[in-house]
Chain A
């Protein structure tokens, strides 16, 4: 066996307070490299708040969010500017309520995710206006990458559609592949299976496994759908009222008394009429 690799993301003592409300209280966990880590917990447990801290929407009250980027070394996410988190640290995310650019075409949604590469190739726009070949070539590469991902999710035929006009399930998949076009090392998915039917859920599982296995991307997943969580995740972190109550493999979590208590309540309370 090879020596264990250090985890891609290490969250240490993350705390987020909004005035008197403690949304996250001293949470620590790790997301192993090229694995799927699911964060589960009842509503209001602070799962989305963890994501908002990771992606720069919130500045954490305390704690350290260290990401070991394979090429760029250690990035401390809590100290980075909003746009540098995807651009430099390689963290991409999707939302519970889908946030595509609805007025742009499906293809453009994927090209916009490759903005920084294109911007450099265009000589910061001046080259592109002069019609230099280098920009055209970069644009072609960007379109090729977009096509690759559209192929994956079966949206090639709809590349020219307005993203806002796609059916719901397609919008979810498009949002995930848009995040992949950033070429992230860490992909944070906020309830990707919400509102999907069982067949679409199965397709989603296949897509996420593909991203993990073929592209070696580390996934962080917030999910309520236990079929998704138990089937594809390698590691599960359970939050309740802003605290971590369990952390382990799906099988261990399934039988953890603390988790059962959080989800189903205290057994003696339930016995009462």
Chain B
């Protein structure tokens, strides 16, 4: 029982990170109909900006952890957004309206480019960060297994829930969110009611990138070590999460992320750790075969 509970907590925290990245995939797909395979790299860049900001803060002597975390959070969201914006502006906007394959290949190209860019600037070695947040709450002490909910996991869960609530409000309640939903349905018509489609798409990339950067920060805090290659696996898993939840659906991406996180945690706990990635990707295959629209996705109706 204690062991199960512990895996549930671990899985949730991990799933939240995947969910944050998956939102970026699903939103971009919803509006421009392309899979932004460079999104995993944006997540990786967010993690790098976080570690650099931590080191700078350490040099300057900002020692109070909550303040340092806040500064890092804001810095990584802002700077990573610039990367997301530039990615769209430089690589994708000129290709809008060209065949999907061209956009897909460009996305893969940008992914390789960003990986090498970070490798060149930061080196290929692992970058460790000493634990920033330590300790946690313990439950079921004295039983056969002591469950620990670390303060870090609490932080991940709380920040993610906060961001998702804010983000859902943005999509459903604000003029910008309404414009995004309109663009998702009919780009041409959205322009005809006066929506600046280019700006709406740019803002979508900016939002996706800032959420991914938070995921990058959480990943860094959680694992304590990053390298230029982390974006690949995390990106592909988040993509799996987006497909599992139903690509194009924001609540689906959150749900898919949680499920992938839980599957991974339980698989590693009860079966073999080595095969946890296989488990996650087997899910992708099964979903694509039996329910291609995902859990919350709507079947695409052919327009006549």
Point out residues on A near B: beta carbons under 8 Å: 55-57, 82-83, 85-87, 92-93, 99, 101-104, 108, 111-113, 115-116, 118-119, 121-122, 124-125, 128-129, 135, 178-179, 182
* Cα distance, A189 to B175, chains bound together (Å): 26
- With a cutoff of 8 Å between Cβ atoms, the chain B residues found around residue A99 in the complex are 186, 188-189
Q: Which of A102, A125, A178 contacts B185 (CB 8 A)?
A: A102
Contact A113:B174 (CB < 8 A) given known A101-B185, A129-B166: no
- With a cutoff of 8 Å between Cβ atoms, the chain B residues found around residue A102 in the complex are 185
- With a cutoff of 8 Å between Cβ atoms, the chain A residues found around residue B196 in the complex are 83, 87
* Cα distance, A113 to B188, chains bound together (Å): 13
13 extra interface residue pairs, beta carbon distance < 8 Å, beyond A85-B192, A115-B193, A128-B175: A55-B192, A57-B188, A83-B195, A86-B191, A86-B194, A104-B182, A104-B185, A108-B178, A116-B195, A121-B175, A125-B174, A125-B175, A125-B176
Point out residues on B near A: beta carbons under 8 Å: 166, 169-170, 173-176, 178-179, 181-182, 185-186, 188-197
- Contact present for A125 and B170 (CB under 8 Å): yes
- With a cutoff of 8 Å between Cβ atoms, the chain B residues found around residue A82 in the complex are 191-192, 197
* Cα distance, A52 to B189, chains bound together (Å): 12
Q: What 5 pairs across the A-B complex have the smallest Cβ distances?
A: A87-B194, A118-B175, A86-B194, A128-B174, A125-B176
- Contact present for A103 and B178 (CB under 8 Å): no
**In the complex, what residue of chain A is closest to B304 when comparing beta carbons?**
A97
- Contact present for B174 and A115 (CB under 8 Å): no
* Cα distance, A57 to B192, chains bound together (Å): 9
**In the complex, what residue of chain A is closest to B174 when comparing beta carbons?**
A128
- With a cutoff of 8 Å between Cβ atoms, the chain A residues found around residue B192 in the complex are 55, 82-83, 85-86, 92-93
* Cα distance, A116 to B189, chains bound together (Å): 15
- With a cutoff of 8 Å between Cβ atoms, the chain A residues found around residue B178 in the complex are 104, 108, 111-112, 115, 118
- With a cutoff of 8 Å between Cβ atoms, the chain A residues found around residue B188 in the complex are 57, 99
- Contact present for B174 and A122 (CB under 8 Å): yes
- Contact present for B166 and A83 (CB under 8 Å): no
* Cα distance, A119 to B185, chains bound together (Å): 19
* Cα distance, A124 to B177, chains bound together (Å): 11
- Contact present for A128 and B173 (CB under 8 Å): yes
- Contact present for B174 and A129 (CB under 8 Å): yes
**In the complex, what residue of chain B is closest to A128 when comparing beta carbons?**
B174
Q: Which of B175, B186, B191, B197 contacts A101 (CB 8 A)?
A: B186
**In the complex, what residue of chain A is closest to B195 when comparing beta carbons?**
A115
Q: Which of B176, B181, B191 contacts A83 (CB 8 A)?
A: B191
* Cα distance, A119 to B181, chains bound together (Å): 15
Contact A83:B197 (CB < 8 A) given known A108-B178, A125-B170, A125-B176: yes
A105 smallest CB distance to B (angstroms) = 11
Q: Which of B176, B181, B185 contacts A122 (CB 8 A)?
A: B176
- With a cutoff of 8 Å between Cβ atoms, the chain B residues found around residue A112 in the complex are 178-179, 182, 190, 193, 195
* Cα distance, A176 to B174, chains bound together (Å): 24
A114 smallest CB distance to B (angstroms) = 8
* Cα distance, A196 to B170, chains bound together (Å): 39
**In the complex, what residue of chain B is closest to A83 when comparing beta carbons?**
B191
